[in-house]
Amino acid sequence: MFIAQAYKAQNGFWRYLVGSLIIFIASGIGQIPLVVALFIKKGPELMQGMDESDLFTTLNKNLTFFLILISFVFALGGILFAVKFLHQQKFKDMVTTRPKFDWSRAWFAFGLVTVYTVVMTLAAYFYSPEDLLLTFDPVPFAILVVIAVLFVPIQTSVEEFVFRGYLMQGFGILAKNRWFPLVMTSLIFGGMHYFNPEIGAMGEIVMVFYFGTGFLLGIMTLMDEGMELALGFHAGNNLITALLVTADWTAFQTDSIFKDISDPKADLFDVLPVFIIYPIFLGILAYKYKWTGWKEKLFGPVEPPQEPSLEDHLAAD
């Protein structure tokens, strides 16, 4: 059982609080290069009252994108440190219950969301060409591809390691059940996106998308007893989106192929995919990987794994 893997480690909940602080501090240290670059470019007066969307107009888009993603490299170091030294846990045990990481699962989820994103973007371009401006520029785009391929998977993996791995196990050990960590990690994951510029541009209804995505990735992890699907899905979503579409009101403004110039205001129709497409994704994965025991895996108790009995040892011999 995925959450019960934490019973093999030092799992006092205070350790998860301290570990979260270590990861937060490591991420903050990783933001220093961006702060220094902004200070050199415009001086201290620009740092006052600057919002996230200003970053991409102050510095080169690719440079800004790179400097933002660097903080996740430092955060990854914080995660590795906390898991190894604070919890004395094998990193694999925080990621999956399988003997080793199943790359085929990660690639399948990556491909699933990639096909969906590409199809929907092309459909939007052909049906509403006035909303998407073709801005493809070979040289900046080539640089973007290198940065995105190298660092976006690190960014998405860090978020998954923290929410669907580290905190999922921590809250599960604390609550001794599975629904509480699913709810808590999904709400925290969604809440951390509240200050994204998309919320200010499109309205708070977009939070439905972030909360829904948190639940989708959490359900994937619990039903599949590992993070491979969530890691692949999140990486595919962010990477392909960064390469395909940008806008002046998004958290990541890139030298992508298209630029969304439509009115960013959202309504209920814009969040309907959470209730339609996400269940379809789960249905596809459930069919492919033969998921069973939904009630137990999503709402059942979390118990320490039983030690093998003498009879078990004799039977194995």
Looking at residue 96, what DSSP letter applies?
B
Sequence-ordered list of residues with C-beta below 8 angstroms from that of 57, at least 6 positions apart, any chain: none
Residue 96 lies in a domain: yes
Q: Is 317 inside a domain boundary?
A: no
In the three-class reduction of DSSP (H, G, I as helix; E, B as strand; rest coil), residue 284 is classed as: helix
> What is residue 307's predicted lDDT score, i.e. its pLDDT?
60
In sequence order, what DSSP letters do the residues of 201-230 get, joined into one string? HH-GGGHHHHHHHHHHHHHHHHHHTBSHHH
CA 194/CA 55 separation, integer angstroms: 18
* Cα gap 65→56, rounded to integer Å: 8
Helices H / strands E in the chain, number of each: 16, 3
Contact 235, 286 (CB under 8 A): no
> pTM for this structure?
0.91
Class of residue 283 by CB neighbours under 10 A (exposed 0-12, middle 13-18, buried 19+): exposed
* 316 found inside a domain: no
Burial class (CB in 10 A: 0-12, 13-18, 19+), 273: middle
Instruction: Report DSSP state, residue 132.
Output: E
> Is 313 part of any domain?
no
Domain count across the chain: 1
**Residue range(s) defining the domain that contains residue 211:** 3-304
Give a yes or no: residue 66 inside a domain. yes
Q: State pLDDT tens for residues 63-102.
A: 999 999 999 999 999 999 999 999 999 999 999 999 999 9
Tell me the C-alpha distance between 9 and 87, whole Å. 6
Q: Residue 134: in which H helix or E strand, if any? A: strand 132-134
Report whether 33 contacts 42 (CB < 8 A).
Answer: no
Helix (H) or strand (E) holding 111: helix 103-127
What is the predicted pLDDT for the residue at 90? Answer: 96
Asked if residue 247 is part of any domain, the answer here is: yes
Say if 191 falls within a structural domain: yes
Q: Report pLDDT digits (tens) over 83-93.
A: 999 999 999 99
Terminal CA-CA length for the chain = 25
pLDDT at position 41, please? 79
Does 206 reside within a domain? yes
Residue 211 CB coordination number (10 Å) = 19
Note the pLDDT of residue 309: 43
Return the axis-axis angle of helices 13-30 and 168-175, rounded to nearest 10°: 160
Low-confidence ranges of the chain (pLDDT < 70): 44-57, 267, 269, 307-317
